[in-house]
Structure 1
């Protein structure tokens, strides 16, 4: 959510200040500066707002057409879709029960709560550290027999100094595809946040959003700040009309295969509920199954992370078994804990 979007959603409501605070303030040390700027722009002291006067008294200083970002095209897109956005949820307990949030169904984490973003950032860093440590340990455990023998010739052939192999650079590529259609939109947010924080342990990683088409967002992983990266990600989806869209995995996977280079060393990780709502079918079978089979044949592995509970797989238009038969592995990731554990093992 950017400032203009927050203003349109919370205009005239007491939550406006908190919404703008979550957009602009990424370090609590700057909270005082924000309060001063808020008072200057809206012409209302922050204290009086908390006393119940409401934020609407100072809104006459802004015209209805003003846009914080200065981008009129983005403003029109936001104005059309603002009604589809959830409101910011304030946690009753500022300390937040991390364990409870980790085990909550991710589909219920449909807010712009900065605490959840911070949790995802910490999760990603933790995953990166564990992956780095595991890779270092696994590579250095193997003794280098030839170097050990040469090193110990001076000891008459007795092995007194064991030389271990140096770690080799892994060249496996990880390509992440995130389903941003209506059924997976909010879950894809947390997926991106975790990958952003853990990206340093993935070699030449690339990131794509898809619904009925595919859009590369790898460049957003280079942002210095998670909040900036996420804001730009949402703006990218707005520009490409990928907000609460409908899945057409056939066209999305076809464009991916035709436009993206991947090899037998590539891991393709897809976040999706495997429901090809708008894709073409032949004899009742989605044609996207053939594309999943092609990806599975050309890549080292295709892994689908399904946020739906297993009891809903293969129900109505779910294609889980068909994608499995085509060569993909499917895993349930309904919670942040499950998602983090799967990413850590990649």
Structure 2
């Protein structure tokens, strides 16, 4: 064998220490964003049936949940509200005393070190479940921008550190950026859902946020899963309009898009590890079919390898605990 020429790649895999020395990507606590669902009422902690371990919580016990996140080093939360009252225009989305606005105040008071990201949309607040104004069965683009801007400004006034508009109306980033600037929030970043596909992986989220459309679907504003170049056009538009972070949603079936958006823009890219992706792994783990920790960490590191800088995931608290186990 002495005259056989080949490279010995296994040298760099021979021990745990060497493998760690040459590891190219890893998931850190600083990468994690935990989505949290806030509801009206008192002493409410409702487990989402399709998302084991994920709860809707009322404001009076919200601090219990955020304290756990802070204690284990999860640095950021994304807040979703589930109001008691809904109407045609989603007015609770931009109400001064809306559920998200109050939740932001609670978190900032109790956990000032947590970065609070406000999901900015109308679908949880409208009685029709769509992300904009409806007329004659049509989702109106430009008429929706004003309401989305009012929502963003009200969330910034409540203390949100980052505004995350998720509606996919054309021009939503430009409208919200102008609205925030005019209201004096020049330094509040926008984490735009730049590339949001009309995905079948959102089902469990709609259980949690009570946001299923009462008619039709969202395919006229969310993207066709078959399209790649359109994603790059959407991302570039958001950069031009003033976005500071670019979200790709979902993550696992769109790792190629994460990589291309990162390469095309150079902006911070956020992978949204959505509810359906979470539910599948939870169900498999509960049946003993997979090693939950190993599979989750492999999945999340694939998002980092694809180019994601941050990850929105319902596994955030679990991952933070697993990282602590590895370190200590």
TM-score calculated relative to the size of structure 1 = 0.30
Q: Which has the larger Rg?
A: 1
The structure with more helix, counted as a fraction of residues: 1
> Relative contact order (alpha carbons < 8 A, sep ≥ 6): 1 or 2 greater?
2
TM-score calculated relative to the size of structure 2 = 0.32
The structure with more strand, counted as a fraction of residues: 2
